[in-house]
Amino acid sequence: MSAVTAEELIAKKCGPCEGGVPPLAPEEAFELAQATPQWTIAPDGKKISRHWRVKNFNAGIDFFNRVAALAEEEGHHPDLHLTGYREVTVELTTHAIGGLSENDFILAAKIDRVPIAVKS
């Protein structure tokens, strides 16, 4: 697999995944992670996540609403976490295969472009 850029991922659409295909091999996941450097691969290699500290509770909810709309468009849905009223975390995994797929990195790259009011 050759190096992929965030722009190349953003140009793609998440494909349907009903299982039956293996998750990405660790080296494939780390290669795609180069295009989404603010996301962290979990130690078990089964998901990626990113954390933000938002301005306030409403900023977190607004961000989640934007991410939810994007997820619906893509047909790929993240796990969204809001704790302490302004600690926002998004986790991506392809549940149907029990690990990471290209879809997770496509959506991560697109989420990176979603406006968010962070705490300064």
Write down the pLDDT at residue 70. 98
pLDDT, residue 120, reads 81
Mean pLDDT, the chain, integer: 95
H/E element, 68: helix 57-74
Q: How far apart are CA 71 and CA 77, in angstroms?
A: 5
pLDDT digits (tens, 9 = 90+) for 16-50: 887 788 999 999 999 999 999 999 999 999 999 99
Q: Is the pLDDT of residue 1 over 70?
A: no
- Does 90 score more than 60 pLDDT? yes
Quick one: pLDDT at residue 3? 85
Q: Which residue has the higher pLDDT, 4 or 2?
A: 4
Mean pLDDT on 91-95? 96
Q: 17 versus 15: which is more confidently predicted? A: 15
Do residues 39 and 106 lie in contact, with contact meaning Cβ atoms separated by under 8 Å? no
Q: Which pLDDT does position 16 carry in this prediction?
A: 84
Which positions ≥6 away from 93 have C-beta within 8 Å?
46, 47, 48, 79, 99, 100, 104
**Locate tokens 């976490």: which residue?**
81
pTM above 0.85, yes or no: yes
Q: How far apart are CA 105 and CA 32, in angstroms?
A: 7
